[in-house]
Amino acid sequence: MKTKPGAPTPLIRIYRALTALTGPLVYRHVARKLRGHDVAEQRIRERDGIASQPRPDGPLIWFHGASVGESVSVLTLIRHLGTRLPQAQFLITSGTATSAEIIGRRLPPRTQHQFAPLDTPAAVRRFYAHWRPAAGIFVESELWPNLLIEGRRGGVPLALLNARLSASSVKGWQRWPDTARQVLGGFSVMLAQNRASADNLVAMGADPARVRVGINLKATSDPLPVDQPALDALGDALGSRRAWIASSTHPGEEETVLTAHRQLLDDHPDLCLILAPRHPERRDGVAALIGDAGLQMTQRSTGALPEPAAQVYLADTLGELGTLYALSPIVFLGGSLKPIGGHNPFEPAQSGAAVLTGPHVTNFTETFDPLIAEGGAQVVSDSAELATAVARWLDDDAALDTARSAATDFAAQGQAALQGIIDLLCRKLDLEHRA
């Protein structure tokens, strides 16, 4: 039996019933995780669609991203959109405690943060009833059927921004083409990171007329903030010592980085490695690896500065990468030696650093390929190649300057694309009339 036009498909009806039934169990699980991060009970209830803040007066534009990267990537866009739309208020929702902490420190004017409601019918209805957004903008791959269906029912124009879908996600949605078309049909416009992502959306059932090829939104972000007093203190502690940075590392990568650093110490005995794991809560395990490597360290989270005898400075805090990048123009970006997908190279490039990366950068292929081609980044696959690449830039100032200039020039290209994204959103979501 065919579904009537506009009516939920059988799969969506099943999904809505299941999420209604299992919602309390999922909420208890999510609440327990947030309590583990010392999130206040009032804020935890945001996941059940119960707002912890009043809705501001005036039109409200809502941005939703899953976690840190997606949410932070829209901060610059909101700042510029706020200038374009001076009467508008803004809301960012995300799902993780880490994203809430980082975003809370960097909110643009007229912007609030809330945890996103779980995708249950009741939580989603409470969310929309309270916030009454004039428009909703989903970031990357957040395709939650209940959120999209309720928004569409309420006449909220929706956009998918910076769209990036994995091959497995595409295959999964293609098994249910009617449902995929209905879910994607809720978006007035879909701006993909690259041509492959745009083609994937169309293959899933998106209206080709609503799909656009853009750039990675993270390319348009402002440079990371720098805490100047902290930078001065760190610089004074390092003195004349040179440093290199390994940031956003994951399990299985620190061992490679530490082995490379031991090799580098043979010819550069005063060299300091600033090691910033992606998840600072792994600090004890990473500290043990440093000890096992026979290296001395000091630890950022204790308030300590790099000591003269410390060969490694463990930067196990949140929100300080901008300050750390300002300490050294050589940055290895983790999440790339293992098949994780890589991390955002625009951040070190905007800070004026030359970038080293492993080969596994599927999440940023469209970024790394031209950055490598232009000489702003280099690929390494093991500790020996990493040590060789760092040593070359330590010993050859001209080569390092060339790589840094290429990275900086590449990062600047993204800023020029920001206005085009704002124009597209204003036109397709009718923001200037709604806000």
HSE-CB for 341 with a 13 A CA cutoff: 8
DSSP 3-state of 392: helix
Does the active-site annotation cover 307? no
- Contact between 201 and 165 (Cβ < 8 Å): yes
Residue of 70, 253, 320, 366 marked active site: 70
Nearest of 234, 77, 75, 69 to residue 141 by alpha carbon: 69
Q: Quick one: how many helices (H) and strands (E) in the chain?
A: 19, 14
What is 192-223 written as a DSSP string?
ESSHHHHHHHHHHT--GGGEEE---GGGGSPP
Over its C-alpha atoms, the chain yields an Rg (Å, rounded) of 23
DSSP at 98: H
Report the alpha-carbon distance of residue 318 to residue 224 in Å, rounded: 12
- Contact between 407 and 344 (Cβ < 8 Å): no
Helix residue ranges, H only, 268-382: 283-292, 321-325, 346-350, 365-373
Query: What strands lie across the sheet with 272-277, from one edge to the other?
Result: 297-299, 312-314, 272-277, 243-249, 330-333, 354-357, 377-379
- Contact between 210 and 287 (Cβ < 8 Å): no
- Please give the single-letter amino acid code of residue 411: A
Q: Would you say the C-alpha torsion 225, 230, 233, 238 has a positive or negative sign? A: negative
Active site (catalytic) residues: 70
